[in-house]
Amino acid sequence: MKIKCGKLFIKENCISPIVYDDSDYYRFVKNYSEQGYYQVILSSTIMIDLLQNYFVERKFEIVGIDFMEEDEVLKNEIDILIRQIGESREKFCYLIEKLKFLNEDSSIEVKKLELKHLDRLGSTFLYLQVNGLYGIDIKHYDTEENYIKDIVERNLR
């Protein structure tokens, strides 16, 4: 599956998703900064909202969640929850509670979300990172990029 990458910027109060070709990241960001764009950071609150929208509204599955803090116990606990959700989607509320608790009480930020969706038309894969980078399978890039943009805009208002 070929992945196309992008990064969220903001300019004049509008979110601008821009294709990122995996070149020199620093130069890429600097180039757009010089054009008046600012980087969008996806806080844990936004990441949780994206996760909820994709899971509940779009019926995506959770592939993985990484955190800014390296903690094997936490990683294992979240991985177990993700597996349980794969067996019973009703357990999703426990994951959301845990992520909100980690964010609000422990200041542990979500670093990366990986999601997928399988249906009769094929599969969709995407990832989102705290620094506003995202990757989407090329077949669904435009649709998912717009969906991400809309959710992030709603959160930043």
What's the distance, CA 133 to chain centroid? Answer: 8
In tens, the pLDDT along 51-86 reads: 999 999 999 999 999 999 999 999 999 999 999 999
E strand segments, 33-144? 38-39, 61-67, 110-119, 122-129, 133-137
Please say if the pLDDT value at position 144 is more than 80.
yes
Q: What is the pLDDT of residue 120?
A: 78
Q: Cα dihedral angle (19, 50, 139, 134), rounded to 10 degrees?
A: 30
Q: Which residues contact 8 (CB under 8 A, 6 or more apart)?
A: 15, 16, 17, 18, 39, 40, 42, 132, 134, 148, 149, 152
How sure is the predictor about 141, in pLDDT bands with cuts at 50, 70 and 90?
A: very high
pLDDT at 23: 84
Rounded CA separation 88/56 (Å): 13
Q: What is the pTM of this model?
A: 0.93
Q: Residue 24: exposed, middle, or buried by beta-carbon count in 10 A (0-12, 13-18, 19+)? A: exposed
